Structure 1
């Protein structure tokens, strides 16, 4: 390895500027972000996962007789962990065979009088069809929590995602676009439900100096290292070590601590986020322009499916370009050959929830929910970074690799 090795980040995160890090100034990120999203108010949390837990605990108080939360079988393990940490039972919904979205019939099969909430996911910036599942959830008295952790800036029918369901959460973690290193956003359409969320926040969320100091140092490290000259040392090298061990769970970033912290988001990190927010819309517009060019090239490849928004009249954001390859063998052959090549290849998640051995205890009965379509998605899905650092020359190499990739049996 040479000092000039390039590692493209796995997503098109928004780089910070040194001027963003000034310790003084306006800290009202919540007000600015509410205006940016087109809502009256919102809550800032320490992570998207913490926001989900706060939402679930609020709903538990409103419907204490309900104990199950329906989540996509292919989603971040933190979602299931959050459900379990709230003392609730996850239930897994299989995906549609032709869309990266919950399957309607599969959803009907897991909904019941025990369902507290349904959590559709806007994965990788693509917009889920929340409108189609709302009547199903409402018919059994369940709430809908839109997991828009990866979709801050996406829109449907001219409005921000998150405004069709009852509650929405967004993430401000690294790689999600706007970042405070870790952070979350929580909002509700209904003023009474928003007031209940705020009351739960006031009752349960407290400052924790140790966590805030840790996250502040991590944010400083991100601001310093998120640049082409340094990214290989902090991202590329650890990725290669994980792949050398055959640890795809760690390589995909799916290895999480067992306990989810909850604390307030400090004033300095709010100031950093507020200054960066002024550049976010332009950032996503530029990412969309690049994605449109590259999607056209990818769609010209035989057998490569480029994922679109599942919802009609939607305009997702483009942190990544999601592909579905013809077979698991071809997807895995490409990753074995090129995941460590520095081209920004990644997996949204490495497995469906039941296939993570380390998270089996949090799933309980959900381990036995049948999810064949979600498993097929997990084995064929691939994310290509839409970072501006993935140059046209590197992207051309990736296109050539996609053309040449064959399953191991076919290549021999």
Structure 2
């Protein structure tokens, strides 16, 4: 299958990571931190600029907690996001409000964010959904000096803005995710980047003590990572048989590591104090060392999709050309005419051994989440995008054959509609 997970991971990275972790111990975490900093063009020696956590949401939680925001402080979020982001602020007792994305896009504009900032706004989460940069952060910081701007760079490892500045270094701070489906994966993990020197010093004084995940947790994460990597190696019929045979025993034994349903619903909190295990860090290190190769491949694949879908009606490619030029996309997003066309295209892609993703399937993904602080109808463009978005896969395991490329073009022609691609 050509899919969306473990997109930079090679089988040989796993034994190499295990050997590195056994040799270096806790030093493997520092090795990965330094390599990840270099991939962002940052100096690894600059104290406290990059810190590693057990998840991206833990990084966001720790940073927000360090701000000691007053009671009644408000956080602005994009009206097209993942539930783990608003849940952080719910758990911290903060109020949230959502800013709608632009029509035909997956991010809000800087002007929309600026207009939404009110007297109580103290923090704004600025998304780079799918790796597409929200431009205008410098102007926002200058216009609203009382507000802290945090980049949600979970999708955007390697993307740069129109001026060539790297995602994760544009706001006051940023968080990254290393979850299974991200451009760089450690199984579960994340990073915090603090670009503002004053906030960096403040955070250092308030940095929570992190604990290493349990051996059981790491085994589950490793097995799940291996499973995801395996699914990217098998054709659809073989994968179907494997899934049918292993689904029941894996659930019975509890070997799958995933976000619990109770966390998605907001009924329980994740472990925000979990750190990154040396083995997980070593897995990340194997990929971070190859950042230029990984980013170049994704850019080339996105350009191939651009050419493949050029001139076709109905498959809208979000963001302007300038915004796309600097992107390293997590997935290749298109907006179809309606939900019926999207679902039909996904079914047709599956027959070609191509996974058609539906990130984000809700204005607060996934569908059925509590949608903390969201009122239905508040972000109509975000709600519409969730109904019609389709993702095409990128990464090492998403190299399409000539037959699959022709099939994508044919599917787009059959399931398009009025409007035209751009």
The alignment's TM-score, normalised by the length of structure 2, stands at 0.80
Work out which of the residue numbers 337, 347, 353 in structure 1 matches 2:358. Answer: 347
Shift of 1:268: 1.7
Work out which of the residue numbers 122, 129, 149 in structure 2 matches 1:123. Answer: 129
1:17 is the counterpart of 2:11: yes
Tell me, yes or no, if the aligned pair for 1:126 and 1:310 is still in contact at 8 Å.
Answer: no
Q: Distance in 2 between matches of 1:275 and 1:355?
A: 30
Q: Distance in 2 between matches of 1:279 and 1:131?
A: 28
Q: Distance in 2 between matches of 1:104 and 1:192?
A: 24
- Counterparts in 2 of 1:354 and 1:152: CA distance versus 1, 3 Å: closer
Q: Distance in 1 between matches of 2:415 and 2:148?
A: 44
Corresponding residue for residue 147 of structure 1: 152
Tell me, yes or no, if the aligned pair for 2:132 and 2:324 is still in contact at 8 Å.
Answer: no
Work out which of the residue numbers 120, 123, 138 in structure 2 matches 1:114. Answer: 120
Matches within 5 A, 1:7-406: 7-10=1-4, 13-18=7-12, 19-22=16-19, 23-26=21-24, 27=28, 28-39=31-42, 40=46, 41-59=49-67, 61=68, 63-104=69-110, 106-108=112-114, 110-131=116-137, 134-135=140-141, 138=144, 141-156=146-161, 157-201=163-207, 203-209=208-214, 210-222=216-228, 226-228=232-234, 233=239, 237=243, 257=264, 258=266, 259-262=269-272, 263-308=274-319, 315-338=326-349, 342-353=353-364, 356-360=367-371, 362-363=372-373, 366-367=374-375, 370-387=378-395, 388-405=398-415
Q: Distance in 2 between matches of 1:218 and 1:124?
A: 23
Tell me, yes or no, if the aligned pair for 1:9 and 1:231 is still in contact at 8 Å.
Answer: no
Q: Distance in 1 between matches of 2:17 and 2:392?
A: 28
Tell me, yes or no, if the aligned pair for 2:104 and 2:316 is still in contact at 8 Å.
Answer: no
- Counterparts in 2 of 1:195 and 1:215: CA distance versus 1, 3 Å: farther
With 178-187 and 30-39 compared, the bigger mean Cα shift is at 30-39
The alignment's TM-score, normalised by the length of structure 1, stands at 0.81
Paired positions, count: 381
Q: Distance in 2 between matches of 1:34 and 1:185?
A: 10
Unaligned runs of 5+ in 2: 248-258, 418-422
Q: Distance in 2 between matches of 1:235 and 1:205?
A: 41
Q: Distance in 2 between matches of 1:165 and 1:34?
A: 16
The C-alpha deviation readout for 1:115-140, integer Å capped at 9, x for no partner, is: 2211111111211214276158715x
Corresponding residue for residue 246 of structure 1: none
Q: Distance in 1 between matches of 2:158 and 2:238?
A: 28
Q: Distance in 2 between matches of 1:390 and 1:381?
A: 20
Shift of 1:230: 9.3
3-state DSSP class of the match of 2:179?
coil
CA RMSD of aligned residues (A): 3.2
Unaligned runs of 5+ in 1: 1-6, 242-252, 408-412
3-state DSSP class of the match of 1:367?
coil
Shift of 1:225: 5.4
The structure with the largest helix share of the pair is 1
